[in-house]
Structure 1
Amino acid sequence: MFARHCAVLLFSLAVGPLLWAEDAPVPDPAFQSCVKTLMAEHGWSTPAEVTAIECHGAGIEQIGDLSAFTALEKLSLYDNHIEQARLSGLTNLKHLNLARNRLKQIAISELPQLEELYLFRNQLGTLTLRNLEALKVLRANSNRMHRFEYEALPALEKIYLFDNEMEHIDIHHLPGMHYMDVRENPMPDPLYEEMDRMTQVTILHDGNADDW
């Protein structure tokens, strides 16, 4: 424990005041460096003032605990090396972009204002979304997904799931859906026929696996 506190103190002295809680793991140095630069540019002095974090192509491997960033509305970490992410309690977050990373696992909860979620070009095998009542756009194409499960996504309008490995998807409990793209998935013809009968929704598909 003493060694850990010494490491945290040295890290703090090297880069300035800690932005993450002292009892949390020391965050990814590349991520902390990017956040500190953004804070300096915008004149933010504490994590609670930060409204947007955009760190693209910065070599970030871990996100860490973001609970101190209570005003955060946009988190965009496109094109990094993140393999897993757990995000919760960010009650003001509206935009989350973790596309083009190395994600194999993601868990999100308590994001009541999240409207846009971008997870494309990762390595996700499954994706479960629950109680994201404000979510309007989901882009999770070009993963390795064989299962997409959801509950209570009443506002979801546009869903991009093409170029995955799904054989089935529930299309009947998305009341806000206007558009879905599930091309390049090995789904059976009866499911595609079911999709075609939903004339009030645009659903793109390529037929069975023999067709593409």
Structure 2
Amino acid sequence: MNHSTSSRHRSRAFTLIEVLIVVTIMALLLSVTASVSQGVVNSMNFRQAIQNVKTQLEAARQSAMTTNRSVMVRLIEGEDEFGNPIWNGLQIGSAESIVDPAAANYATPVSGSFEPQFKAIDSIETLPTGFVFHPASTYSTLLSNHASLNTGTMTDSAGSSRKYTAFSFLPDGRCSLPSDTDWTLTLVREQDIKAATLPADYATIQLDPRTARTRVYRR
């Protein structure tokens, strides 16, 4: 009788251990699955960010050729959740000279400093949260201080002042930038912009000024 009772106790103890093992394995599997799922989502967001920028640039080029008018692209500096400056915006528009002194936003032309009025075609396109244009001119020459780029500040729809750099697509299928420079725009995760080198995962969009076409190099 005692032997039978002891066996039942051992059987019950083994069952509890087995349950604990199963629960532990399930917890590990859930943890791994969550990690993999987050990685997949981040990768999808990165691909979407790259495609959105490329699509915007291609649309600007096509619009310039179709309408026979220059189309301007502005790369715009925004802010992260802590108010730190990050380059994460893009806006397409046209440059219009307002010649009617009675019109809104008319500015008296001044020799050597007059700049046509920017008329936005659409709202600012912002990169998905966590992704930015790399600010270093080594990786993003379109954000450099090159003389061929138009730079300045603008006021967004919320009334905030933002820095921008700009260039134009021309009706003849070229862009306003010289061909002796490699024009690039590199996208990275926001957490990687302070590193001394590019991270393992990044994408560079290269713009050929002679054809105004773009190519994406993804690592």
Fold shared, TM-score > 0.5 on shorter chain: no
Which has the larger strand fraction?
2
Which has the larger helix fraction?
2
**Larger RCO (alpha carbons 8 Å, 6+ apart):** 2
Mark the structure with the bigger radius of gyration: 2
TM-score range, shorter chain: under 0.3
TM-score, normalised to structure 1's length? 0.19
